Structure 1
């Protein structure tokens, strides 16, 4: 039986967000769009898992962020599929590990792994220092190497920031700041994934566009933000993007749905 995974990312519940003087994050639509994704998951896709790749909120203050993160999670939990969460950079500016774990209904570090449907699923926690860099600590890389060594199953990796080498020259958000989109230790991270010989595909959000890189046989898929404005400025047209991945023994198919569709297929 194939494993079907639904994805949503960069939902950004919170205040209006402009960049370079233009309305870019259509945060006012976050609630209705998230409910729409859940309805599609429940009525049409019926995935085994719903993976939230992070940035549930547009950070503002601890009190506001707790309320909005809780609102986002409560909507996502109306999905009939198991919810798997990834921490985004906006999620942990005013909130901490314990806060997120309460919403996630789990304990421990914000990186972890689980086995579902014949696949080993790995959640990484990339750490962004605002306006400085994006890191993945050495201790987490050691954990990852050991975790991959233990599993006999094919592996799917979920993370917020990108581990690829995507050219960000045409990225609205990151053309001036690629160091805030790409993990600094990405070469070492990719080497661990490659040497395991088990990784089928890596998914991330954060960059607010659809993008694919295949590096040494591993696809790195960036999923478009749910609330990204596809127009140049206000009033705007949200991407309403979510993705569906179907994985079986020989093939992975990824379809991005909404107003900014994409499709990728990989033979293994």
Structure 2
């Protein structure tokens, strides 16, 4: 099976390419320096000859998207549309990575895969448009929503928190936003397992199980870094006013995974206990390795 991974230099892309190469798969790692996903001819040429397309590329600057929604739309919606079209024409399956931001964040129970989408930000709107485009262009698709990603291959919440706690001796972290911290290596593994299982086309949620707040996650990070978790103090989101609204509740349900018999990612705290040494050290296999 031949794979192409776009956004291969991002946190998730690095882990996915490393996982596929580690098990002996034929994989092409593509990034914006090699394939412009908004260029139809470039996308068609890149996808041709592959069996699976995994789109990890995205405009992820949530705040900048508020003032540059057209640019974000080009990457988050037009790009996936062109990739999905090329995948269909090549007879390939496409996996589109999406986000919790397609929901309004006002729920009290985990969002089901078929829950109504109601994005509150430009980022969420453009990612939802990308989902629609993939579904319209490619019948053979998997849309995998995720949230609160961290990994060794780039800047992420745990590495920032560990550094700031060491530098300042204490810090305030938001306690009124709840979600599921998810290791990019676990998400990469879930994507591969979905494809290997021949999962039916549709929407799936790729987050760790359980839930916590940013404050709770920060305490776990600081403790793993050998510091006192109590140096992390609680604060609220209204203290940090930002251009784009953040979902207050980003907990996603995993019921759809039962259909292909794919086991959800384990509890976030158990997975963090496995991940933290690698993540805080920033060690990951390079996509070209």
TM-score, scaled to structure 2: 0.33
Larger Rg: 2
Higher normalized strand content (fraction of residues): 1
Higher normalized helix content (fraction of residues): 2
